[in-house]
Structures are given as C-alpha cells and as structure tokens.
Amino acid sequence: MMLFRPVRQEDLQQIAALAQKTGAGLTTLPKDPEKLEKKIALSIDSFNKTLADPGDEYYLFVLEDTNTGDVVGTSALAAAVGLEQPFYTYKLGKTVHASPKLKVHKSIPTLILGHDYTGTTEICTLFLSPDHRGGGAGKLLSKARFLFLTQHPSRFSDTVIAEMRGYSDENGVSPFWESLGRHFFDMDFEDADRKSGEGTNEFIAELMPKYPIYVPLLGEEAEQVLGKVHPDTEPALDMLKSEGFEYKGYVDIFDAGPTIEVKSDEIDTIKRSHKYSVAAIEDVENDSSFLVANLALADFKAGLSSAVVKDEKITITSELAKALELKVGDTVIASQLR
C-alpha cells in the first residue's frame, strides 16, 4: 500500500536518490544532499510550530510503499511565498498605441514583472518515481495535501497557486528563455532556474529589465509558448484544472510556464471532503475509491482505499487502518475520487 506522510530525517538518503531522477525543472527538490537536509529540517520544524498565521513554513510530504519501506515520491506545501525572498512572475497585459490622424489603433501584449502572488500558498515539489507511476499513486501524492490544508486553515493562505513547468523542446531548450532571459543573464536556463528555486533570487531584481516587455519583439516561437506547459507536465495540469485551478495570465519569468490559482475552499477534493467516524474495519470490495486521512498535524497520514460510507460513518479496510493507525471510533476526513 502507498502511504502519504510528512518527511522524516531518516528519509534523506532515499529522497536524495529520487532527486537524481528529476531532471531539469523541479528546483524545489535540489540534488545537493546538504540543501535537501535543510529542507527536511525546515519541514520538520514547520510541522511542530505553533502559529496563528502562515509564514515561511514548508511542509514536505513523501509517498512510502509500506510493503518495502521505499520512499517513491514527494510533494509539498509552501505556506506563504514571497515573504523571505520576492516571488517574481510576469503578468500578461496589454498596451494600446493609437494615432487618430493615421486611423491606427493597435493593442500590443506586454509582460510586466511583479510579485502579485506574495503571501499565497504554493503547492510544489511534486515528483513520483517513474517506476511507480499509474495505479493512483500520482493522485494520492497530489491530492492528499489538500486534506491537510483544509484541516489547518490558519497555517495557509486562502489562495493556492501552482507554478507549472514551461515548454522546452526534446533537447531542453526553452524558446522563451532564449528570446528573453539569455540576453540579461550570463548563465544557462537550468542554472538560473536552479538558483531561483533555491531561494537565491536577488539577481532577478538586479538583472531583469524593469520596464514592460513588448511580446511581439520576442519573436513568434517565444510568443507561442507563453503559458504553455512542458509535454510531461500536461497530465499534472489537467489534474489541477479538474480541482478548480485556473490560469489568469501569470507566467514564469524563465520559461513562461503558467502559474495557476484557486481559492482553497473551491478545491474540488476539499469541497467533496467530509469527516466520518470509523464504524468498522473489515474487507471492503467495491469500486468506490476514497482518499482518507487522519486528523493529525505532525503525524498526518493519508491513503487511497475502497471504503463504504453511510450515515456519517465509514467502513475502511484493515490495510488502511493499519497504515493510518486507526481504530473503530476514530474520526477521519475522506473525499471520494471521481
């Protein structure tokens, strides 16, 4: 069975091995073991904090195969972005040039550098080992954090965002970076993206142009990938859209991937979630798959399983009860998968 739980210090070695498989684009899961160790320590501290408002907390979760003990995936929640380091985005806008004398009226798309998402909660660090994709593992890894978020609303913003990986070709070349970023940074796309993801982003303010950028000047190839995701990211984008996330014209400053957003109370998994008392623990065989989680904070656990719901009560399998350390009479939160 796959178990979704907070990261532990002893997971470091396995997460470091996972990080080596990510390739470019997942900057929040660094390949450097020392940086990973700091992220794990920050996460453990975040889970154990007593607080009333979101700050720079970072909640890192792992997906564990309970049959082998292997850590096969990661996902995270950044409580409030942009408080310690600016969270930069480009906003797609427009400017109008008109000449009544020539009877010319031209609307031109622009990119404006800003940090409008400061203070919002970000879902991030989603990675599942290629050997374990399919069978619901990706859904568990992505959706279980929504059940954690809705149980602890004071720890998060009421707006949740996700930065999606932008388009690059089979050789890893980003048309947007080649048309814009390379002219201002004396480094490759992967190096700039990694430095920003690691929190070292003062160079963005220092080197990026401060004025609106006229999109047509970037060239047709770059213009076409604005707000477009990498082919490998399309399934993740589709899943988040089904949860209610929307694209509202904000793109990543390096690869022009879309930043999508949703109000937390409009997330589909959260809207369909409900608290139940465990009525029985026994073999359940049906086609109803539920995302089920306990109500803990630092010991939060979630899993996917068949279940039966009736009259505010839920019957769960013995396998799920063992993984989540549940007994009859305990209260859980559950959301039926579509």
Model confidence pLDDT, tens digit, residues 111-135 = 999 999 999 999 999 989 988 877 7
Residues 77-89 have a mean pLDDT of: 92
pLDDT band at residue 100 using 50, 70 and 90 as cut-offs:
confident
CATH domain 273-336 topology: Barwin-like endoglucanases (2.40.40)
For residue 262, what pLDDT is reported? 98
* Catalytic-labelled residue, pool 97, 105, 230, 274: 230
Crossing angle for the helix pair 12-19 and 33-48, to the nearest 10 degrees: 130
The two tokens of residue 317 are: 């399998």
Q: What does DSSP say about strands 89-99 and 246-251: parallel, antiparallel, or unpaired?
A: antiparallel
Residue 193 has pLDDT above 60, yes or no: yes
State the average pLDDT over residues 186-202. Answer: 67
- At 297-321, the pLDDT tens digits run 999 999 999 999 999 999 999 999 9
pLDDT at 84: 86
What is the number of residues in the chain? Answer: 338
- Range list for CATH 3.40.630.30 in the chain: 2-88+114-268
* Alpha-carbon span 79 to 157, nearest angstrom: 7
Numbered ranges of CATH 2.40.40.20 in the chain: 273-336
Angle between helices 234-242 and 137-151 (to 10 degrees): 40
Cα–Cα dist 105/305, whole Å: 59
Examine the pLDDT at 213 and tell me if it is beyond 70. Answer: yes
> What percentage of residues in the chain have a pLDDT greater than 70?
94
pLDDT above 70: residue 203: no
How much is the pLDDT for 30?
80
Higher pLDDT, 30 or 9: 9
Residue 230 annotated to the active site: yes
Distances (CA, A) of 306 to 73, 236, 272: 22, 24, 16
Give the confidence band of 232 by pLDDT, cuts at 50, 70, 90.
confident
| Distance of alpha carbon 109 from alpha carbon 128, whole angstroms | 37
> Tell me, which fold does domain 2-88+114-268 have in CATH?
Aminopeptidase (3.40.630)
| Confidence label for 103 from pLDDT (cuts 50, 70 and 90) | confident
∠ CA 254-73-51, nearest 5°, is: 80
Lookup: tokens for 6: 């907070």
Handedness of CA 24, 56, 121, 39 (dihedral sign): positive
Average of per-residue pLDDT across 211-220: 93
For residue 319 the two structure tokens come to 């396998």
Residue 244, Cβ neighbours under 10 Å: how many?
19
Bigger pLDDT: 261 or 209? 261
Q: What is the mean pLDDT of residues 196-216?
A: 75
Across 69-94, average pLDDT: 93
Nearest CA-CA partner of 42 in 63, 28, 24:
28
Confidence band, pLDDT 50/70/90 cuts, at residue 26: low
Side-chain-side CA neighbours of residue 239 (13 Å): 17
Query: Whole-model pTM?
Result: 0.91
pLDDT at 328: 97
Of 126, 123, 124, 122, nearest in space to 22 by CA: 126
